[in-house]
Amino acid sequence: MGYGMRVFVVTEDDSLRRIPFSRFERLHDSDPHEQLYEYAGKRMRYAMAVVEVEGKKVLSVFQITYGYMSFDPEGRLDPQYLEDEICLRLRSIPPLLAEVEPTNVIHSQDKFDAKRFQNEFSWQPDPKIEKAIYDSVFNL
């Protein structure tokens, strides 16, 4: 038993296109040879499922993350979009060690950044899309 990843691009008409996780990683790593020409210049939704597998059979879905991919005119992921996403994600993590300050000071920038991240870089599926994702994960 182990874990695997399933990545789906959600098109404008809410249909799903599965892309191999290795290709998704190459896109995120800015591999110059990895492109999705059909999405050039577009911002596309994606769903990434972490699944428990035995052999090639999916036993359960551990987690699904919903996000956006912004493509440049050549069909590669926009590096500025990726940088903005990573920076905002990191800023939304609460500080581990709080500095000694007066008790009437409330630090909430991380909460505002987390809300902004949720609004700008993630999305929530409607029940129809969510069902289609689960069906696709289990019927591969």
Q: Which residue has the higher pLDDT, 133 or 96?
A: 133
Task: Give the model's pLDDT for residue 99.
Answer: 60
Closest CA to 81 of 18, 100, 89, 92: 89
Predicted structure pTM score: 0.84
Q: How many CB atoms lie within 10 A of CB 43?
A: 11
Q: Which of 10-19, 32-41, 79-88, 111-120 has the lowest mean pLDDT?
A: 111-120
Q: Could you tell me the residue ranges of all domains in the chain? A: 2-138
pLDDT at residue 137 is higher than 90? yes
Closest CA to 78 of 119, 115, 42: 42
- Average pLDDT value for residue range 31-43: 94
Q: What is the DSSP string of 54-81?
A: ETTEEEEEEEEEEEEEEB-TTSSBPHHH
Read off the pLDDT band of 96 (50, 70, 90). Answer: low
Supply the mean pLDDT for the chain: 89
pLDDT at residue 45 is higher than 90? yes
Read off the pLDDT band of 101 (50, 70, 90). Answer: low
